[in-house]
Chains A and B, each alone.
Chain A
Amino acid sequence: MIWENIFFGVIAAAMAISALGVVTTKNVVHAALFLVVVLAGGAAQFLLLGQEFVAWVQVLVYIGAVIVLFLFGIMLTRAPMHPEESLENNLRWPAAAASLFLAGILGGLLVHEFHGVEIDLHSPVRTSEVTNAIFRTYLIPFEVVGVLLLGALVGAVVLARRD
Chain B
Amino acid sequence: MLLNQFLFLGAFLFCTGIFGVLTRKNAVLVLMSIELMLAAVNVNLVAFGAFHNAPTDPARVVGQVFALFVLTIAAAEVGVGLAIVLLIYRNLHSADLDDADTLKG
Contacts and interface: CB of A to CB of B under 8 A. Distances in A.
Interface of A: 1, 4-5, 8, 12, 15-16, 19-20, 22-23, 28, 31-32, 35, 38-39, 42, 45-46, 49-51, 53-54, 57-58, 61-62, 65-66, 69-70, 72-74, 76-79, 86-89, 91-92, 94-96, 98-100, 102-103, 106-107, 110-111, 114-121, 123-125, 129-130, 132-134, 138, 141, 145, 148-149, 152-153, 155-157, 159-160, 162
Given A87-B24, A111-B4, A35 B36 contact: yes
A119 B68 CA distance: 21
For the residues of B in contact with A, the DSSP-based class is: helix
B76 A49 contact: no
Nearest to B18: A99
A39 to B, nearest CB: 6
B11 A69 contact: no
B3 A54 contact: no
Contacts of B63: 51
